Amino acid sequence: MESIDTWKLVSLSPHPLLVVVALSVALVFGVGLACWGVRRESSPRRRWLLWTLRVLAGLCAFFFLVEPGLRRLQVARVKNRVAVLVDRSGSMNFPVEPRGVTRNEAVAKALEALAPQTDALKDRYAFETYGFDPELGATTVEGLRAQPPRSGRSDLFAALRAIKAGEGGGARKLAGVILFSDGADNADLASGLSGRPKQVLEQLGVPVTTVAVGKGGLTDLAIDAVRVDDFAFVRNSITAEVELHGRGFADQAVQVVLKREGQVVASKTATFTSNDETQTVKFTFTPDQTGRFVYTVSVPVYPEEVVAENNTRSFALKVIRDRVRVLLVSGRPSWDERFLRGVLRADANVELISFYILRNQLDDSGVSQGNEPRELSLIPFPREEIFQKKIDTFDVIIVLNFGHEDQGVSLAAFRNDIERYVRNGGAFAYLGGDRSFGEAQSSINPFDEVLPVTTAGTAELAPFVAKLTLQGATHPITALASGTVSSEAAWAAFPAIPGMNLTRPREGSTVLLTHPTAQVDGQPAPLLTISELGRGRTLAIGTDGTWYWAFPSHAGGGQGRNYERFWSNAIRWLVRDPDLTTLSVTADPSSVEPGKPVGVVVVARQPDYQPAPGAKVSVELIDADDGHVVAQQAGEAAADGTIRLEFPPPEPGAYKVVGRATKDDKPLGESSDAVAVRAVGPELADARVNAALLEDVAKATGGAFFDAPSFNLSDVPLREPPLVEVGRSKDQPLWDRWYWLSMLVVVVGLEWAVRRRFGYV
């Protein structure tokens, strides 16, 4: 702070300000009246002479009224602060130009070049250098070089507000801000300067000079964004829009590939017509399974690119069911078909399409027309339309008591389509009867390859009550327990059914219900058998008498709905309803930014679906592309059966989290989820320089904009430092000099003489 001697004019009148103002008004009024009195003077020269003398007399009187004086002061100029803000986000590691120095190094060199200019202004301004990432922190040129930018976020607006807030009530005020950045804001100003941020900056009260660091001409191919819904419906088309930005790829075709956990879903070609262009590529695909899956969009990495990490982007997509689409095909009208169709139609979550054969060519109806039997069906059975063209649109296919000896309705020609459907994630249920499992005239069964059982002989016709197996006692399909009634007691209360087909379970299948006495190969004859084939599930029931199980809920107004519950459980198991599992594994969150840990929430339940406290839980993080285990975590479930595990930040890519749990050395099941780890965050996804945003910030605050780090401080608008009094002041009167009084006497006397001469006195 440097002392300066200065002075200023002041009024030394002893009268209060109000008195001085009143006398001044009276003086002006008197001068006005005097001028008004000579308005009729015919000679303009005389009139102007009188007006001039009267005004001069008034000014002289006003001079002695205010008693002017000279106040001598000793003051000092207080330095103002100039804040130099340097962007420390990750994008400042990009080169200024192809094969050039980094943007961070360019800022360091610019600050070194400005050092002589800042030294020349050090008497008036204190230059302070800060880096923001996004938090403010003091830095130096050496600090910029020693610690490369690493922040994953650019927030110019927050940095400017923070430096203004730091002004506080101190003596040193902000004279201005000089901001070095590439303008790649990904916070409040990501979409430009508008709305509330613009209003705040316009009222900042400090000129912000912005300096764009970086140039155009960089070669880069980047996936800027993938626009897709958070969830999709299984077997329904969904569109993902990929926003692809190419710089330096004029007249070049680029292959864009969409994969689901390593498997190619689709690929398209995008052709750029200019060196800076954004193309939108649309992928329309149909998920065929429920669950959460990771999809990855990628483009090739070219040698001349500045950033390679932004050539891929992964996203997690949850596939759910809108309604379970069920196809029911029956070989003939029956009570089992009627009851089952009624249950499915009453379920609001089921969309049912049903067909049943009224009569085939081998049935003798006794009705004829001429020499040909009368056709009783209303429309031909659309076998090809259903089992070839539309088969993948169904979630579950149920075939009930269907024979194949009549070639007019046989499904033998579609055995490959049905097997492919199941292996790709479809669900298939096959119910018995006199035309199923080889009981009819033909032993051909086109479903042999997908069924969990094979034919084992002629039917057992004696009525019986189904018996639960050990596996059936805990399986969700046969879980009918409610209140104090166990599932075993609920099944024992079912009425007897009139016979069943004899079948033999295949290896790897699971038998849930059996005949209480009949045996096949020394084991109880299976009634309800399930298995998994590829990604699909199958179920076989060796009877068409399940409708007898509906009697208890319909007779006498009974409250039990176990027949409906059984079929609801069966449908939900077939379509892999996630709520019908004893173990739930959920990635938290499903999309992870680079460098962040992967969280997993596991919920373990016991076979009765009660929480499993103390369950031993292990979770593997598996690379979805090649299947190798990346990491493993283990823990023990809390009292509510829940545990959260966390994996250290993995490499970018698509991953599956597979969880397993045991309770008292008994397995509770296995479940999985998907998680996408991004290759780059928003900060490194784009290498461009947003000079337009920096220019808008400068305009809004009254600062200057420079498109390169080289500039002169003389061109930077800064507020002048204020002056403060630092010593005692001394007043020296000016009004008490004899010559001022003589001037007043001369002017008043001359004015009186002229008025007398002209006859006004």
538 and 530 in contact (C-beta within 8 Å)? Answer: yes
What single-letter amino acid sits at 65? Answer: L
Nearest CA to 198 out of 577, 701, 625 is that of 701
- Helices 738-757 & 44-66, crossing angle to 10 degrees? 150
511 and 501 in contact (C-beta within 8 Å)? Answer: no
d(CA 73, CA 54): 36
* Tens-digit pLDDT profile for residues 588-616: 888 888 888 999 999 998 765 678 899 99
86 and 132 in contact (C-beta within 8 Å)? Answer: yes
Nearest CA to 277 out of 241, 248, 298 is that of 248
Q: Is 70's pLDDT higher than 90?
A: no
Q: Please give the DSSP secondary-structure letter assigned to residue 442.
A: -
Residue 514 is predicted with a pLDDT of 94
Beta strands in 534-641 (DSSP E): 536-541, 583-587, 591-592, 598-604, 616-623, 629-636
> Residue by residue, what is the 3-state secondary structure of 106-132?
HHHHHHHHHHHHHHHCCCCEEEEEEEE
- Range with the poorest average pLDDT among 77-91, 150-164, 378-392: 378-392
Residue 141 is predicted with a pLDDT of 92
- When pLDDT is averaged across residues 438-451 and rounded to a whole number, the result is 68
Nearest CA to 526 out of 546, 538, 511 is that of 511
- When pLDDT is averaged across residues 371-380 and rounded to a whole number, the result is 50
- Range with the poorest average pLDDT among 179-188, 380-389, 644-653: 380-389
Q: What are the angstrom distances between the C-alpha of 147 and each of 131, 142, 143, 213, 244?
A: 11, 9, 6, 18, 32
**531 φ, ψ to 5°?**
-165, 170
CA 339 to chain centre: 46
Q: What percentage of the chain's residues is helix, strand, coil (to nearest 5)?
A: 25, 35, 40
HSE of 151, CA atoms in CB hemisphere, 13 A: 21
d(CA 86, CA 149): 10
2 and 76 in contact (C-beta within 8 Å)? Answer: yes
- When pLDDT is averaged across residues 10-32 and rounded to a whole number, the result is 75
Q: What is the mean pLDDT of the chain?
A: 83
Say which residues have a Cβ less than 8 Å from residue 366's Cβ, sequence separation at least 6. Answer: none
What single-letter amino acid sits at 182? Answer: D
Look-up of token digits 């991953």: 655
Q: Is 376's pLDDT higher than 60?
A: no
Q: Is 375's pLDDT higher than 70?
A: no
d(CA 562, CA 573): 16
Q: What are the angstrom distances between the C-alpha of 98 and each of 90, 154, 274, 687?
A: 17, 22, 18, 11
d(CA 632, CA 351): 41
Nearest CA to 320 out of 538, 578, 592 is that of 578
Residue 743 is predicted with a pLDDT of 75
Q: What are the angstrom distances between the C-alpha of 728 and each of 4, 67, 397?
A: 12, 21, 102
* Tens-digit pLDDT profile for residues 355-370: 877 555 444 444 444 5
Residue 558 is predicted with a pLDDT of 42
86 and 182 in contact (C-beta within 8 Å)? Answer: no
- Range with the poorest average pLDDT among 19-28, 81-90, 227-236, 267-276: 19-28
> How does residue 441 score in pLDDT terms, banded at 50, 70 and 90?
very low
Helix ranges (DSSP H) in 575-606: none
Say which residues have a Cβ less than 8 Å from residue 409's Cβ, sequence separation at least 6. Answer: 357, 360, 381, 383
* Tens-digit pLDDT profile for residues 121-177: 887 888 999 999 878 889 999 999 998 888 888 899 999 998 888 764 445 688 899
- Percent over 70 (pLDDT), the chain: 85
**212 φ, ψ to 5°?**
-80, 125
How many Cβ atoms sit within 10 Å of the Cβ of residue 358?
Answer: 12
Structural domains for the chain: 2-76+727-757 (no CATH), 79-214+689-721 (3.40.50.410), 220-318 (2.60.40.10), 324-363+376-574 (3.40.50.880), 580-677 (2.60.40.1930)
Residue 556 is predicted with a pLDDT of 47
d(CA 512, CA 490): 14
User: Is 191 exposed, middle or buried, given 0-12, 13-18 or 19+ CB atoms closer than 10 A?
Assistant: exposed
197-229 burial: b if 16+ Cβ within 10 Å, else e: bbeebeebebbbbbbbbbbeebbbbbbebbebe
d(CA 257, CA 269): 9
Q: Is 281's pLDDT higher than 70?
A: yes
d(CA 535, CA 287): 13
- Helices 44-66 & 17-37, crossing angle to 10 degrees? 170
State how beta strands 583-587 and 174-181 pair. Answer: unpaired
Tell me: cis bond preceding 134? Omega within 30 of 0 counts.
yes
- When pLDDT is averaged across residues 726-734 and rounded to a whole number, the result is 62
Q: What is the DSSP string of 622-658?
A: EETTT--EEEEEEEE--TTSEEEEEEPP--SEEEEEE
Question: Which SS3 state, helix, strand or coil, does residue 219 take?
Answer: coil
Look-up of token digits 């992928």: 283
State how beta strands 453-455 and 497-500 pair. Answer: unpaired
d(CA 51, CA 32): 9
488 and 494 in contact (C-beta within 8 Å)? Answer: no
pTM of the model as a whole? 0.59
124 and 77 in contact (C-beta within 8 Å)? Answer: yes
How many Cβ atoms sit within 10 Å of the Cβ of residue 603?
Answer: 22
Nearest CA to 185 out of 216, 209, 159, 163 is that of 159
What single-letter amino acid sits at 601? Answer: V
d(CA 406, CA 164): 88
The better pLDDT of the pair 740, 385 is held by: 385
* Tens-digit pLDDT profile for residues 699-727: 999 999 999 898 999 899 998 876 554 45
Q: Please give the DSSP secondary-structure letter assigned to residue 196.
A: H
- When pLDDT is averaged across residues 651-664 and rounded to a whole number, the result is 90
349 and 374 in contact (C-beta within 8 Å)? Answer: no
d(CA 90, CA 153): 8
d(CA 179, CA 213): 10
How many Cβ atoms sit within 10 Å of the Cβ of residue 486?
Answer: 16
d(CA 258, CA 239): 12
Residue 632 is predicted with a pLDDT of 94
Nearest CA to 5 out of 69, 68, 56, 77 is that of 77
37 and 92 in contact (C-beta within 8 Å)? Answer: no
